[in-house]
Amino acid sequence: MNRRAFIGTVAGGLLAAPLAAEAQQAAKVARIGWLALNLAAAPQVPEAFRQGLRDLGYVEGRNVVIEHRDAEGKPERLPALAAELVGLKVDVIVAAGAPHALAAKQATKTIPIVFASGSSDPVTDGLVTSLARPGGNVTGLTGLGPGLVGKCLEQLTQAVPGVTRVDALWQPGAVGKRTEEEMLKGAEVAARALGVRLQFVEARGPADFDRAFSDMTRVHTGALTVLPSAMFFNERRRLVDLAAKTRLPAVYPGREFVEAGGLMAYGPNLADLFRRAATYVDKILKGAKPGDLPVEQPTKFELVINLKTAKALGLTIPPSLLQRADQVIE
């Protein structure tokens, strides 16, 4: 081999190596597992997550594939569906709630899990060791922030001036024990500060709704605050319909209730939580360990008011409250 041919061969080899590496990297397709309890209940949630991925340069079918598993409203199916995703050897599992994340955590100790939960404390639920240092293979975002229930009560008393009794609809066990205790205590403290009498009304399942609203009607409750619960979220249309039927002004923990016809809501934007979840997935796919990624709490809450519902209830929402609203539905 002459000198020119030798140099050409070496140069070609040097060029081919990085090109081959780039081709191999380009061919890498990330596989994400999506574990949901009921996709039909909130179709905007997976779409928000996909938008978050698109913003980060991911294109479905080109460099990312999402494997959806839907329990169709049956929590008992979550463990088997989580096991399916583990069997597919996905790169990361996105869990759309605390029960989903727990099922995934029981199914794998190695595949990273990212949760985005609107009504859960990941520490008391046993998902992470602490918010700052999750440890293990789980991290994500929680929608519960300090003072949420108290702020809901404050907004409600402003929307219904002169109200003296407010009932709080809650589902025992909907959140971790510590979170539940703090939430109920916070509601009582806020009620005393606002000068209203607060009564808690239990609803362990949809079968309790009619009885709960009947009880509230019988004692002439002036207004209602609905505490965070995944079950309440999934049954939001029925809750909103019952509040309208009993002419009970109500504040809910998420905009989806107001979009279904509820009076008002104050809480974190659920779609935004899942858009932000995409950034966690991106970091993990690029090598970050979930145990090193702090769990984020919401920093921005939104107030949404439905004026059509207010009119049906005979309420005039004060201009000061309307000015603070992030969205007014007319």
**Dist. CA 232–CA 204, nearest whole Å:** 10
The predicted structure's pLDDT at residue 3: 53
Q: Is the pLDDT of residue 57 over 70?
A: yes
- Measure Cα distances from 107 to 6, 37, 66 in Å: 55, 16, 18
Q: Is the pTM of this model over 0.75?
A: yes
Q: Which structural domains are found in the chain, ordered by start?
A: 9-144+270-292 (3.40.50.2300), 148-267+302-329 (3.40.50.2300)
Q: Is the pLDDT of residue 21 over 70?
A: no
Other CB atoms within 10 Å distance of the CB of residue 30: 18
The predicted structure's pLDDT at residue 156: 96
**Dist. CA 241–CA 236, nearest whole Å:** 8
The predicted structure's pLDDT at residue 260: 95
pLDDT digits (tens, 9 = 90+) for 73-83: 888 999 999 99
Out of 89-103, 115-129, 179-193, 235-249, which region has the weakest mean confidence (pLDDT)?
A: 115-129
The pLDDT > 90 percentage for the chain reads: 68
Q: Is the pLDDT of residue 20 over 70?
A: no
Phi, psi of 297 (to 5 degrees): -105, 160
Q: Are 122 and 131 in contact (CB under 8 A)?
A: yes
Q: What is the mean pLDDT of the chain?
A: 89
Mean pLDDT along residues 16-25: 48
The predicted structure's pLDDT at residue 18: 53
**Kindly report the CA angle at 174 between 270 and 109, in degrees rounded to 5?**
80
pLDDT digits (tens, 9 = 90+) for 294-310: 999 887 789 999 999 99
Dihedral sign computed on CA atoms, order 240, 246, 249, 251: negative
pLDDT tier at 207 (50, 70, 90 boundaries)?
A: very high
**Dist. CA 192–CA 150, nearest whole Å:** 10
Q: Is the pLDDT of residue 320 over 60?
A: yes
Q: Is the pLDDT of residue 12 over 80?
A: no
